[in-house]
Amino acid sequence: MNRIVFFGELGSGKTTLAKKIANNLNCRVIEASKSVVFPISANFRTLPKEKYLLKKLSKISKKDASVSREIAKKTFLALKRKYSPDFIAKALHLLYVDTAPKDVKYLIFSGLRGLDNAKYCRLHNDLVVYLKSNKKDLVDRLCKDRGYTKELSVAEINEEQRLYKTKEIEEVADLVINTSSNNIIKASKQILSKLKNWRKMCKICVNTNSNPAIKFDKFEICHVCRSYKKNLDLKHLKKELDFLKTFKKKNRKYNVLVGISGGKDSTATLYTIKKMGFKPLAFTFNLGYLPETTIPRSKEIAKFLGVDHEVINIRKYIRKIDLDSYKKTVKLYEEPFNFETKKKFKKSYEIGRKHYSVKCNHSPVFVRTCQLCRRMVIRAYYGEAIKRNISAIILGINEWTNLSAAQKGKEYKVSGVRKLQPEKNKPPIYIFHLPFLLQRNSKNTKRILNKIKWRPPKGEDFIESNSNSCLYARSTERMAKRLLEFHPDSTRLAREVTVGFITKKQALKALGKIHPYKFSPRQVLKRAKIL
């Protein structure tokens, strides 16, 4: 449900514009004063406990009540002192958002005041529209529409600013419109245009413009899908698959390493590699925060397929800068759930995207925890492969490499192979994304899993976000999703949709699921003996 909330200076046209937008969208306008302030003013001489008031408000808000402007101001201040500065926004969400039927597409709130109420609405992903006008126009409108004198109009405008910090809301709003230079028709067009692009989703995958890294073309296709389609060459993938097959000639006990978690992709990959004639050694990397079922299931599947298996502790690959990132990230996740924290999360996400490379020596916050884990995992791939004198690692990843080139708009070839060679005088290690090279889809994978009677653990869906397979990600999932306005694993699942491995519907279902977990990020890392 899309929600539009109007804030603005006294006389800026909030109510008029809200009604105009409501007519265009065929929805109702909910006036904050009539729904919250007036009923409380009319029914309570002294304010009761907050929980009791909110319960009663659902009944008394349905009855018409009207009080003077002065009494309404006193009630606003009393609510702010007794409960919280954002009480009115909180009450409106409880009354109309939390209880709204699923088929309600739009909701419009008008008449809200106060900077803290605006922050609450932004925090809860409402479209906050701020209306402003030059002071002369505001005074003229109040004189004309309300019969105020010029002196009274100026006094009321100044009083509103003092009580509600009205002008400061401009810095919080998603959209600012000057109603002195825009009439109602122009202003409504701006709002409807903003709403049309609000939380836009790619027509192919599940990327949205809530993620600042995602860009759209005029056909509403994200830059990742567009780049993939432009640079995909199936003949090139065939060459890479042929290159993989050359490793079968290595006359050793093991000629490839295969990563396995016991999940659907890694299980099907291990089965396939063995069928292709390789001699695999299965491995499971462990940073200390795997779900308790991961290692036992990995061992069980490897044994069932007749493959040797090793659990490799990779905490030794954590550098000081990585440990610093762990500490900073945990600290951010301990911040209070408010608008200021939301801004920090969004900024940290953008910074983390620039510094997750294994070559990077920065230690930023990683809101998306996978980006931090990647630093250890990539180095561990190289170190553990060299130690075992094996040059090829096979993974059950259903996406292409060269993603950084795709993000930067550079020319590249879509590839299923990553070459690791930290120094020129050291031998290279090759990582192969087998399902992608085979252009496999989830139906192919299901057929393989049915052959070996693989079943997901109880309560686990066939397609899941990374929070299903990582307790660190699980401990951050809810807060990250709420503050970023998109699931932190959406980009990975989007790529699986892009390549055709899963459907958009499957990805959306996975992203809509939140994995409940009782431990905080700090507790997870302490249990893992990282902090």
Q: Where are the alpha helices (DSSP H) in 246-393?
A: 264-275, 294-304, 320-333, 339-354, 369-387
CATH at 67? 3.40.50.300
Residue 216 lies in a domain: no
Assess whether 192 and 228 both reside in one domain: no
Judge if 167 and 303 occupy the same domain. no
Residue 209 lies in a domain: no
Last residue of a domain, one of 196, 231, 262: 196
105, amino acid identity: K
CB atoms within 10 A of CB 478: 14
Q: Note whether residue 505 is domain-resident.
A: yes
- CA angle centred on 81, ends 75 and 85, rounded to 5°: 90
Q: Are residues 109 and 237 in the same domain?
A: no
Whether 189 and 230 map to the same domain: the answer is no
In a domain, 215, yes or no: no
Q: For the beta carbon of residue 424, count every other beta carbon within 10 angstroms.
A: 6
Q: How far is CA 298 from its chain centroid?
A: 29
Domain region containing 56? 2-196
Q: So what's the pLDDT on residue 458?
A: 81
Residues 333-371 pLDDT 10s: 999 999 999 999 999 999 999 998 888 999 999 999 999
Residue 181 lies in a domain: yes
Count of domains in the chain? 2
Looking up residue 377, the CATH number of its domain turns out to be: 3.40.50.620
Does 441 fall in a domain?
yes
Which H or E element spans position 235?
helix 234-245
Whether residue 365 is contained in a domain is answered as yes
The answer to whether 132 and 176 are in contact (CB under 8 A) is yes
Question: 242 and 182, same structural domain?
Answer: no
Rounded Cα–Cα distance for residues 109 and 3 (Å): 8
Q: Are strands 256-259 and 2-8 parallel, antiparallel or unpaired?
A: unpaired
Full pLDDT tens readout for the chain, 531 residues: 899 999 999 999 999 999 999 999 999 899 999 999 999 999 998 999 999 999 999 888 888 878 888 898 899 999 999 999 999 999 999 999 988 888 889 999 998 999 999 999 999 999 999 999 999 999 999 999 889 999 999 999 999 899 899 999 999 999 999 999 999 999 999 999 999 889 899 999 999 999 999 999 999 999 999 999 999 999 999 999 999 999 998 888 999 999 999 999 999 999 999 999 999 999 999 999 999 999 999 999 999 999 999 999 999 999 999 999 999 999 999 999 999 999 999 999 999 999 988 889 999 999 999 999 999 999 999 999 999 999 999 999 998 987 665 555 567 789 999 999 998 899 999 999 999 999 999 999 999 999 998 988 888 889 999 999 999 999 999 999 999 999 999 999 999 999 999 999 999 999 999 999 999 999 999 999 999
How far is CA 261 from each of CA 284, 298, 521, rounded to the nearest angstrom?
Answer: 6, 5, 22
Same domain, 157 and 268: no
Assess whether 312 and 434 both reside in one domain.
yes
Q: Phi then psi for 459, rounded to 5 degrees?
A: 85, -5
Q: What is the sign, positive or negative, of the torsion defined by CA atoms of 142, 147, 149, 151?
A: negative
What tens digit of pLDDT does each residue of 211-258 get?
999 999 999 999 999 999 999 999 999 999 999 999 998 888 999 999
| pTM higher than 0.95 | no
Domain assignment of residue 208, yes or no:
no
